[in-house]
């Protein structure tokens, strides 16, 4: 039993373990989760020191330490040496919709993600679209190839870039990775070679056909056509956005004799 009186002692959190069953540290974690949900513990609240809380609950310090560690792993608490332990600021946020970047000051060096100037227009159009009386129909299953109107819109978009096609040759995809996987799966067979830039989009390697269907992926510097004429060895040349790197003379000459370029 604690020899100190906490009746009039100010503490930000006074959990009650009198009815707890099972390991006390797990019961303490459960109490903290409940108090966060019901608003007793609010985001940003500084918790009592671990020794003080252990004295109040009449438990070992290790019980509090284990409970706090588990709560930190659950994303409920954050702590720093010399500053104490706090309830996380975003503990009540809808985590599914949170931005993946935890530190806004972080400079992303792992992926080259362009700033899309049209995002504001897409956001505005989407908001208007969801206000339509028939908006719920957008969440139902539809033709996986896209409706006729959608494919006609694709034709018009291609024409703006100088490509001429018809809606029978336009398919919709669920994002770039889905389109990449479907395209490679349709064009390549087991044992085929796929030549890419030395530094290319990593999703190519993760595409099902590149890893599961036995397709060999080579960087352009290693890709060799052997003794076969280039026009027979290479079927399609996919031109990617420039990376400010000059193509080697051999690759420029190879590109000049190709009959098909996408």
Most confident option among 77-91, 146-160, 236-250: 146-160
Structure-model confidence comparison of residues 87 and 104, the more confident one: 87
User: pLDDT at residue 245 above 60?
Assistant: no
Domain residue extents for the chain: 1-92, 176-260
Residues found in the chain: 262
* Nearest-10 crossing angle of helices 24-37, 61-73: 50
Asked whether 77 and 86 are in contact (CB, 8 A), the reply is: yes
- What pLDDT shows up at residue 33? 92
- What pLDDT shows up at residue 29? 93
Burial class (CB in 10 A: 0-12, 13-18, 19+), 91: buried
- What pLDDT shows up at residue 73? 87
- What pLDDT shows up at residue 65? 94
The pTM for the full model equals 0.45
Q: Indicate left, alpha or beta for 4 from its phi (over 0: left) and psi (-120 to 50: alpha).
A: beta
Listed range (2-6, 207-211, 217-221) with the worst mean pLDDT: 207-211
User: pLDDT at residue 25 above 90?
Assistant: yes
Report how far residue 195's alpha carbon sits from residue 222's, in angstroms, rounded to the nearest whole number.
Answer: 8
- What pLDDT shows up at residue 109? 67
Mean pLDDT of 241-259: 55
- Token pair of 77, please? 């608490």
Report how far residue 123's alpha carbon sits from residue 130's, in angstroms, rounded to the nearest whole number.
Answer: 11
pLDDT tens by residue, 42-60: 988 999 999 999 988 889 9
Closest CA relative to residue 260, chosen from 240, 241, 236? 236
Average pLDDT, the chain: 77
User: pLDDT at residue 115 above 70?
Assistant: no
CATH annotation of 1-92: 1.10.10.10
- What pLDDT shows up at residue 130? 92
């Amino acid at each position: 039993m604690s020899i100190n009186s906490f009746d009039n002692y100010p503490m930000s959190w006074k959990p009650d373990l009198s009815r707890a069953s099972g390991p006390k540290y797990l019961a303490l974690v459960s109490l903290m989760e409940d108090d966060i949900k019901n608003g007793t513990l609010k985001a940003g609240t500084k918790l009592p020191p671990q020794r003080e809380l252990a004295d109040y609950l009449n438990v070992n310090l290790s019980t509090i330490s284990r409970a706090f560690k588990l709560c930190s792993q659950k994303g409920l608490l954050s702590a720093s040496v010399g500053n104490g332990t706090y309830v996380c600021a975003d503990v009540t946020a809808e985590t599914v919709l949170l931005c993946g970047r935890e530190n806004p000051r972080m400079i992303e060096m792992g992926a080259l993600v362009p700033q899309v100037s049209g995002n504001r227009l897409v956001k505005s159009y989407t908001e208007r679209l969801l206000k339509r009386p028939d908006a719920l129909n957008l969440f139902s299953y539809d033709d996986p190839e896209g409706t006729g109107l959608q494919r006609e819109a694709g034709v018009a978009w291609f024409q703006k870039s100088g490509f001429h096609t018809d809606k029978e040759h336009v398919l919709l995809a669920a994002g770039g990775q889905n389109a990449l996987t479907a395209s490679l799966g349709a064009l390549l067979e087991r044992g085929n070679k796929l030549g890419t830039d030395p530094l290319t989009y990593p999703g190519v390697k993760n595409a099902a056909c590149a890893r599961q269907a036995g397709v060999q992926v080579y960087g352009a510097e290693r890709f060799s056509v052997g003794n076969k004429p280039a026009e027979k060895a290479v079927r399609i040349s996919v031109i990617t956005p420039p990376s400010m790197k000059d193509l080697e003379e051999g690759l420029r000459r190879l590109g000049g004799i190709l009959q098909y370029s996408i």
